[in-house]
Amino acid sequence: MNSATELWQRYQDWLYYHEELNFYVDISRIRFTADFVAQMQPKFEKAFADMQALEAGAIANPDEDRMVGHYWLRAPELAPNESLKHDITSTLSKVDTFAKKVIKGEIHPPHAAKFTDILSIGIGGSALGPEFVAQAMAVTNPLLNISFIDNTDPDGIDLVLGQLSARLATTLVVVISKSGGTPEAANGMKEAKYAYEQKGLEFNRYAVAITGEGSKLDRIAKEEGWIDTFAMYDWIGGRTSELSAVGLLPAALQGIDIMAMLEGAKVMDEATRIANLKQNPAALLALAWYSETNGKGEKDMVILPYKDRLLLFSRYLQQLVMESLGKEKDLDGNTVYQGIAVYGNKGSTDQHAYVQQLREGVNNFFATFIEVLSDRAPGNKGPELEPGIFAGDFLSGFWQGTRKALYENGRGSITVSIPEVSPRMIGALIALYERAVGLYGFLVNVNAYHQPGVEAGKKAAAVILDLQKKVMAVLDAETAGSASLSIADLAHKVGQPEAIETVYLIVRHLDANSRINLEGNTGNPSSLRVSSLL
Ligand code: PA5
């Protein structure tokens, strides 16, 4: 399959084109055979049937005993009951009305005519979608600027709040947490509240929450009288929540056409609902992934959008794919260690970085190129850089060159081509990948809608913080004045001698932040003496 004529034929045989969206998926540069496709056919038939049941309201997330309803967000008429339909339409209408009022100044800060900024606080599925869309649809002079706190890194928080400082009195805070109890989001909220209070501003008059009804965050927002709250539902997963209030409210506040996002997703959903491999672009992606990874994650997925605006699509997909598919157990309880590792940034920038290894080094990946056909905003041709050549011609040439070079060196690639970066295309891209991940999850028989590893990480951090509180209590009680303890004594006195290394790491961190006294050489733990500052 190497002559140009054969490849051109394969390209045409496998090219998927959605006429209404002007959207292409090309899997011709993945080396699967007709036999492989035939073998996969029964698996796909089962996956299509499972997907149909999921959309009809089956408990597709059995561990959490939940339905999986992100497809209903863009087609509420498909939701399995009236109450869900009502939840979707009423939340959408509330988001739309609220954003319009903020933009017009009908909802405004206490001491100014309009909000100028949005501060979005959340993590994981409550941040990556809004961040991706904000960058994809950024304009030179936005109606409202958006900033994000998506971590509990104090220095990162200080930077964002510092940059907003002069405009804090006109900044609307959007706190996003489905569970309403995620520490990073809660900490971001508390830090922001502190910054408002330091400026004499009443935080509740600047804040809205997007969260599950009855969650801790929901209770705080209601008790403190925040401007409003927007509902998040248990049948929407964090990583598939971009087209719920989680993504729609920040987008609408920036003036992004959320109805077009939903419409693009709806049209793509219709295409990816078709139970026919060659007519279904998400199934084609899942087929290509399975072929490259042997259905066992044997190769990594490298996402290379040739468009700066789509830089964060790689990060967005990293979560969507890895949190969904990266599972120890399959649905029957067998240990499978499933997943596909995803990384990437953007072309052609990455051609000056890791693409060297992709082209010539270890062959442990397949690439996905995202090609955007239009180079610039309509009517803006830009300068001619060489006779007859514009900047976008270079970008396109670099993409084609890399695709060709990879293939010639035995490395597979997929290309997704879209006409432009627009709200409609963003919706279509999100829907395409949500469905591909869902179908692939069924192919490899994992629950793509839970995240036990994420929950385990949250619990592990809580154990460390609990130990830190005990360490501080022992130091305060036993080392006030001139007394001090060795690390071993300290671990013994907190009742966890086996956790000596954790105690040492806690103490080293506290010392670096001037919250305890530490004498000795921190690189030699047994030499250390610890005491409280009291
Ligand atoms: O996709 C997921 O479920 C996670 O990444 C969550 O979005 C993340 O942990 C944040 O959770 P929450 O929205 O409950 O604060």
Ligand 1 atom at minimum distance from 127 CA: 7
Map tokens 């009517």 to a residue. Answer: 379
Gap from CA of 482 to ligand 1 centroid (Å): 46
Is 459 catalytic? The answer is no
Report pLDDT for 482: 81
pLDDT value of residue 460: 85
Distance (Å, rounded) from C-alpha 307 to C-alpha 325? 27
Interatomic CA distance for residues 525 and 228, integer angstroms: 51
455 CB neighbour count, 10 Å cutoff:
12
CB of residue 424 inside a 6 A radius of ligand 1: no
- Residue 144: CB atoms within 10 A of its CB come to 19
What pLDDT shows up at residue 534?
A: 79
Looking at residue 443, what is its pLDDT? 98
From the list 352, 386, 459, 498, the catalytic residue is 352
Q: And the tokens for 376? A: 């610039």
Q: What is the pLDDT of residue 368?
A: 98
Residue 343 phi/psi, 5° resolution? Answer: -150, 170
Helix ranges (H only) for 109-170 are: 128-136, 154-164
Instruction: Determine which helix (DSSP H) or strand (DSSP E) holds 117, and give its type and residue range.
Output: strand 117-121
Q: How far apart are CA 421 and CA 374, in angstroms?
A: 9
Residue 252's pLDDT is: 98
Q: Measured between alpha carbons, how far is 268 from 422 in angstroms, rounded to an integer?
A: 14
* Ligand 1 close to Cβ of residue 76 (< 6 A): no
Residue 222, number of CB atoms within 10 A of its CB = 12
Decide the pairing of beta strands 517-519 and 529-531: antiparallel
One-letter amino acid for residue 178 of the chain? K
The token duo for 225 is 């009288």
Q: Verify whether residue 111 is a known catalytic residue.
A: no
Q: Which of 458, 470, 478, 492 is catalytic?
A: 458
What confidence score (pLDDT) does residue 294 get?
98
Residue 488, Cβ neighbours under 10 Å: how many? 15
Say what the pLDDT of residue 1 is.
54
User: Is position 242 annotated as part of the catalytic site?
Assistant: no
Asked if residue 423 has its Cβ within 6 Å of ligand 1, the reply is no
Q: What is the pLDDT of residue 481?
A: 77
Predicted local confidence at residue 456, as pLDDT? 83
Q: Are 238 and 318 spatial neighbours (Cβ–Cβ below 8 Å)? A: no
Model pLDDT, residue 454: 85
Q: Which mean pLDDT values do the consecutive 10-residue runs of the chain (534 residues) have?
A: 88 98 98 98 98 95 92 97 97 98 98 98 98 97 96 98 98 97 96 98 98 97 98 96 98 98 98 98 98 98 98 98 97 97 96 93 98 94 96 97 96 98 98 98 97 85 94 93 92 97 97 95 93 90
Q: What local confidence, expressed as pLDDT, does residue 297 receive?
A: 97
Task: Tell me the H-state helices in 386-449.
Answer: 391-408, 423-443
